[in-house]
């Protein structure tokens, strides 16, 4: 898969049978819908698409930068704020193909230990899993 930020080839990082696409150059992380659903299933969340749907309804943020394209469908992605204490802007595919964290954004989110995601009830287990994978 090609990185939506720096256009380099990403590597696949696997943990507990969940594969994430990771860019070793810019340190960005791509979660496609299947990976996000597997993550939700692994922590026993009843509706696997709740998290993605919650993010899709978040308002789009304005940015002076060029919009990134989804590495799956090549359409421009929506920029949303998911940070609790500070702005953490991530890109999400309008079609729901997945979401992109620029280098450092996932670590910032994990350090906050809480995210708004328009519905703040999304489990602490998600953060614990990601902390273990990326040792944030």
> What confidence tens digit (pLDDT) does each residue in 54-103 have?
667 777 887 767 889 999 999 999 998 876 656 788 899 999 898 898 98
pLDDT band per the 50, 70, 90 thresholds, residue 51: low
Indicate whether 9 pLDDT > 70. yes
Residue 62, burial from CB neighbour count under 10 angstroms (0-12, 13-18, 19+): exposed
Indicate whether 43 pLDDT > 70. no
In b/e form, how buried is each residue of 41-61, taking b as 16+ CB within 10 angstroms?
A: eeeebeeeeebbebbbebeee
Contacts of 29 (CB under 8 A, 6+ apart): 20, 21, 22, 23, 100, 101, 106, 134
Domains in the chain: boundaries = 11-129
> What confidence tens digit (pLDDT) does each residue in 112-125 have?
654 444 444 444 55
Three-class DSSP labels, 23-42:
CCCCCCEEEEHHHHHHHHHH
Find the mean pLDDT for residues 30-55. 66
Number of H helices, E strands in the chain: 4, 6
Find the mean pLDDT for residues 47-54. 56
């Amino acid at each position: 898969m090609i990185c939506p930020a720096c256009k380099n080839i990403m590597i696949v990082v696997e943990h507990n049978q969940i594969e994430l696409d990771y860019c070793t150059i810019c340190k960005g992380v791509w979660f496609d819908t299947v990976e996000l659903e597997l993550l939700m299933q692994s922590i026993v969340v009843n509706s696997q698409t709740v998290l993605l749907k919650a993010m899709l309804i978040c308002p789009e943020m304005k940015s002076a930068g060029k919009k990134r394209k989804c590495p799956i469908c090549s359409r421009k992605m929506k920029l949303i704020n998911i940070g609790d204490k500070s702005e953490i802007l991530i890109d999400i595919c309008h079609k729901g193909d997945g979401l992109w964290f620029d280098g450092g954004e996932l670590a910032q989110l994990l350090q906050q230990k809480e995210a708004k995601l328009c519905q703040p009830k999304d489990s602490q287990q998600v953060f614990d899993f990601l902390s273990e994978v990326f040792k944030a």
